Amino acid sequence: MRAQARKMAILIPALDPTTGKPMIGKVKLLDEFKKTGQSTENLVALVNKSPVWDAVKNMYILDFRGRVTQASIRNFQAVRAEKEDEIVIQFGKVGDNSYTMDFTNPFSAFQVRRAAFLHSCILGTVAGRSVRAWCSQAFAVSLTAFES
């Protein structure tokens, strides 16, 4: 029996169309996502793209179109919750302790770097080192920095 693919959601506040600032504090992102399961006027919701089981390789696979060259538990593609054919973020291994990350609107480089870091925190390592001890503290700092 094979393990199920992991599920992940990335939630960010939508930008206020008049000010361009994140609409933080108007809604609780997780509560809104649980109600709708997709993006709303207050929320941009991404989920990991569902990988396909390859019986020959005996693993889940995603098509990174040549951008990712090595299998890793950290590899992921994030798509809009309501539109699975539009890849917004992809992160994957390209060498020993080397990764590539591609992203598009509505995310900034800061946000996708934080998402990739937190993904590694959930898995418990960054560059082969255990990071569980300080990941929760770093997450709290990143949220504070983002809200400023």
30 is a domain residue: no
pTM of the model: 0.68
pLDDT tens, per residue, the chain with 148 residues: 455 666 778 888 887 778 877 776 666 788 888 888 888 888 888 888 988 888 998 888 899 999 999 988 788 898 988 888 889 888 888 988 788 888 887 777 777 777 776 666 655 555 445 544 444 444 443 333 333 3
Burial of 22 (0-12, 13-18, 19+ CB in 10 A): middle
Domain that holds residue 99: 48-147
Q: Is residue 67 part of a domain?
A: yes
Cα–Cα distance for residue pair 55/128, rounded to 1 Å:
28
CA dist 109 and 106 (Å) reads 10
C-beta atoms surrounding 126 within 10 Å: 17
User: What pLDDT does residue 28 have?
Assistant: 79
Question: What's the CATH code of the domain at 78?
Answer: 3.20.90.10
pLDDT value for 56: 93
Domain count, the chain: 1
What's the number of CA atoms in the CB half-sphere (13 Å) around residue 76?
A: 24
List, in order, residues 6 or more apart from 141 with CB less than 8 Å away: none
Q: Compute how many other C-beta atoms are within 10 angstroms of the C-beta atom of residue 58.
A: 8
Specify if 53 maps to a domain: yes
Amino acid at 2: R
In a domain, 74, yes or no: yes
